[in-house]
Amino acid sequence: MAKPIEADVVLSCSEHLPAVDVWLVVDVLRATTVIVRWFELGGEELYPVDSVESARRLAQALAQEGCPPLLMGEENAIAPRGFDLGNSPTDLTRELVVSRPCAVMATTNGTKALLKAAATGVPVLVACARNALSVLDCALSRGSRIGILCSGRKGRPAWDDTLCAGLLLADLERRQPGLRLADGARLALLAWQSSSDLHASLESADHAVFLNKIGYGADIAFACRQDATDVVPELHELPDEDGMRAVLRRVPADAIPPGARPPLPRTARVPAAPQGDRTAPTGADRFAPLLQYARSDADHVFLGGGRHRKGK
DSSP 8-class letter at 271: P
Digitized pLDDT (tens) for each residue of the chain, 312 residues in all: 678 999 999 999 999 999 999 999 999 999 999 999 999 999 999 999 999 999 999 999 999 999 999 999 999 899 999 999 999 999 999 999 999 999 999 999 999 999 999 999 999 999 999 999 999 999 999 999 999 999 999 999 999 999 999 999 999 999 998 999 999 999 999 999 998 789 999 999 999 999 999 999 999 999 999 999 999 999 999 877 667 899 999 999 888 887 645 444 454 433 333 333 334 444 444 444 444 433 333 333 333 333 333 333
**Is 269 contained in some domain?**
no
User: Residue 247 CA to chain centroid, in angstroms?
Assistant: 17
Please give the distance of CA 169 from its chain centroid, rounded to a whole number.
12
pTM, two decimal places: 0.84
* Residue 94 included in any domain: yes
The answer to whether residue 28 is domain-embedded is: yes
Q: Is 276 part of a structural domain of the chain?
A: no
Q: Which domain holds residue 147?
A: 6-254+282-294
Q: Report how many domains make up the chain.
A: 1
In a domain, 308, yes or no: no
Residue 157 lies inside a defined structural domain of this protein: yes
Alpha-carbon span 248 to 271, nearest angstrom: 39
Of 243, 31, 255, 17, which is closest to residue 127 (Cα–Cα)? 31
Residue 71 lies in a domain: yes
Q: Which domain CATH number covers 159?
A: 3.90.1560.10
Q: Cα separation of 26 and 169, whole Å?
A: 12
